[in-house]
A and B are shown apart, each in its own frame.
Chain A
Amino acid sequence: MNAPLIVFFLLAAMCVIGAISLILQRHPIHSALSLIVVMVALAGLYLLMGAEFVAAVQIIVYGGAIMVLFVFVIMLLNAGAEERTNLSKLAGTAGIPLGVALTGLLAAAVARSQDAVHASVQSGATAPTKAIANLLFQDFVYPFELTSFLILVAILGAIVLAAPRSET
């Protein structure tokens, strides 16, 4: 067993344990911290694949910005532990077997797929950030500009939704 494979299994175990912990924790803040573990481990996996720019963006945007937003909202709303109800027991008994079945189906479909999927990812081959920039600002320039508009609309929407109503 070579070194990249060992690192892969360590990071994959971190991802899966973090995701299971997200499900099992009763308190939203603990779930949020578990999700941060998953995201940092995923950034490590991107580095292992040689996608260093995506790894940096994952840490900065997901681990840094989005999860901080989640933690802020959890603290702002003073979210307590969730209560178990009859409906949640029903969701557990019906949903968990179906979810496991979906996971097994997806994994089996991948494992039985063609050679293209089974090729090894070159750990040494890095994706140059310059090439990503060329692609982003030449071939994908219109979608890129559209995302800036999307962000603008999202900012306006968030302000309109969350701003305190002035009853006049």
Chain B
Amino acid sequence: MVPTHYYVILSAVLFGLGVIAFIFKRNIITIFMSIELMLNAVNLAFVAFSQVWHRLDGQVFVLFVIVVAAAEAAVGLGIIIMISRNRKSLNVENVDLLKL
């Protein structure tokens, strides 16, 4: 039997790695992928708690998170295509129109 807090610690580690990737990467597509990594880490915690309390609400929440992630990926990748079309670059530092 695997103790639940192993799953939750793994979830925390994956979330932290997602945050590090979000800060460290310069490519806008990779930054978007690190958001997906953070969502996956949260899903892992949801499923672990759902199994330990024998309530299925957590797994239903995971389904909703996956649906929202799919919608977010579709819209976000559309925005990325627009940015690369207008800026001719995928580096986030070139997207600074609002900067003084």
Question: A-side interface residues toward B, CB under 8 Å?
Answer: 2, 4-5, 8, 12, 15-16, 19-20, 22-23, 28, 31-32, 35, 38-39, 42, 45-46, 48-51, 53-54, 57-58, 61-62, 65-66, 69-70, 73-74, 76-77, 79, 82-85, 87-88, 91-92, 95-96, 98-100, 102-104, 106-107, 110-111, 113, 116-123, 125, 127, 131-132, 135-136, 140, 143, 147, 150-151, 153-155, 157-162
Contacts and interface: CB of A to CB of B under 8 A. Distances in A.
Given A103-B17, A117-B5, 14 more contacts: A22-B34, A31-B27, A42-B40, A49-B51, A51-B59, A58-B43, A65-B70, A70-B29, A82-B90, A99-B20, A116-B52, A118-B4, A151-B71, A161-B78
Interface residues of B, number: 69
A151 B23 contact: no
Nearest to B19: A99
B57 to A, nearest CB: 7
B16 A106 contact: yes
Interface of B: 1-10, 12-21, 23-27, 29-30, 32-34, 36-37, 40, 43-44, 47-48, 50-54, 56-57, 59-60, 62-64, 66-75, 77-82, 84, 90-91, 93
